[in-house]
Amino acid sequence: MASRTIRIGLIGYGVVGQGIVQLLSDNAATIEGRLGAPIEIRRVVARSPDKVREIEPPEGTLSFDPDDVLNDPDIDIVVEVVGGIEPAKSFVQKAIESGKHVVTANKALLAEHSELIEFAESKGVDLYFEAAVAGGIPIIRLLREAFSSDRIIALRGIVNGTSNYILSRMTVAGLEFEEALREAQEKGFAEADPTLDIGGGDAAHKLTILTTLAYGARLTPDRIPTTGIEDVTAVDIHFANRFGYVIKPLAVARALDGGKLDLRVHPALVRRGSVLASISGALNAVYVEGAMLGPCLTSGLGAGALPTAMSVVSDIVDVGRNLLVGAHGRVPSRAFQGEHLKDMEVQDPGDHRCHWYLRFTVRDRPGILARIAGVLGASTVSIEQMVQEGIGQDDGPVVVVMLTHTSLERNLMGALEEIATLDDVVEPPMALRIEED
């Protein structure tokens, strides 16, 4: 095996960039032992000289010009931790063009622009992205390598730490949504634009990548039916608990008979005591069901400087190993060889069947329950349990919560539209799926 130094250029010096520098310094000896060569940080590109940095880059490496990395012929691997689409996309493109290998943590970029992976393959360079999904959890490697002999039946993940943190704090500490979001932001889990977290966009990016790896599906995030957590209230958390459930932000991919995929990102009720119910705070988890293996759970921190840096640096080590033996492209980035990737049909959300949690806010008038039940019944939605809490004082509204038997989403949504127009229904009904694992 060739013995030489692996030289990297780091573009982006925020939380993750600084974590990478710290980790490479703290774990240098262990990493060299595993790789068989030292890793040298040749250049660190930060956005601005004025930004306060907790970890100083190695002496003489700091620059503010990405071309100092992209045009340096001695740099083997470009590490992109800028985030977002542009200018990160141009950096990655230029790096590949000049024959450099790339390690990135950028889920939005890979989910929206998988052509970059094809470009890397055509140029014979590695493009690795373990940190792009669930931060420190090695789910990409798991799907790409450990599951290469299995068929994946289903994959259910909690892949947005901010959303999980918010719902957990609302559950455990009784916080309001806004308060819990503020806490998550202070702790640094949230994206610069937190609507990506709470609106489900971040989870949809991650599910796009996971689905490609699990099923060999060519996919873009806009094909994933996505609902955020912003409409979940303390009242929903209270009633879910009363029925024996907790509310979790889920990303689901399932193979259906007939070759379609069931893909969904949404908050859902999961049974208290189930595997995913125990994944609390900012933790992420991915629960994979293999046809041969059966269930397999991975859980850990999906964000934060060192957990994310751990995944990035492990990718650097992998690419470094490939460099040392000249084995680029040995493991396909998307788990499947390019020619075996396929366009797969995504199930119309209306065709999804599950149990539902429904919350109605109504004026406590004679007959209102019968009218709601009548509309549900006419749509073949059958009520399994029901509870009304509180007494409507001075004509004030009361909350009625129902759990349904398995119902078709199309039928249920049609019924809710009609119920929303009934006299004495004072708020749009809330519906949450119940997910069984």
Nearer to ligand HSE, 103 or 368 (CB): 103
Query: Could you tell me the smallest distance in angstroms from the CB atom of residue 165 to ligand HSE?
Result: 7
CA angle 150, 317, 147 (to 5 degrees): 5
Nearer to ligand HSE, 160 or 299 (CB): 160
Strand partners, 128: 103
Name the percent of the chain in helix, strand, coil, to the closest 5. Answer: 40, 25, 35
Contact (CB, 8 A) for 149 and 318 = no
206 has catalytic annotation? yes
Instruction: Round to whole Å and give the CA distance between 356 and 333.
Output: 38
Instruction: Round to whole Å and give the CA distance between 303 and 160.
Output: 9
Query: Of the residues 206, 248, 260, 342, which is catalytic?
Result: 206
> What residues line the site for ligand HSE (CB under 6 A)?
135, 160-162, 189-191, 197, 202, 302-303
Strand partners, 389: 399
Query: Could you tell me the smallest distance in angstroms from the CB atom of residue 344 to ligand HSE?
Result: 25
Query: Could you tell me the smallest distance in angstroms from the CB atom of residue 86 to ligand HSE?
Result: 19
Strand partners, 330: none
Nearer to ligand HSE, 11 or 403 (CB): 11
Nearer to ligand HSE, 315 or 409 (CB): 315
What 3-state class would DSSP assign to 175?
Answer: coil
Query: Could you tell me the smallest distance in angstroms from the CB atom of residue 2 to ligand HSE?
Result: 35
Query: Could you tell me the smallest distance in angstroms from the CB atom of residue 362 to ligand HSE?
Result: 35
Nearer to ligand HSE, 311 or 407 (CB): 311
Nearer to ligand HSE, 207 or 398 (CB): 207
What 3-state class would DSSP assign to 387?
Answer: strand
Instruction: Round to whole Å and give the CA distance between 311 and 320.
Output: 14
Query: Could you tell me the smallest distance in angstroms from the CB atom of residue 331 to ligand HSE?
Result: 23
The catalytic site residues sit at 206
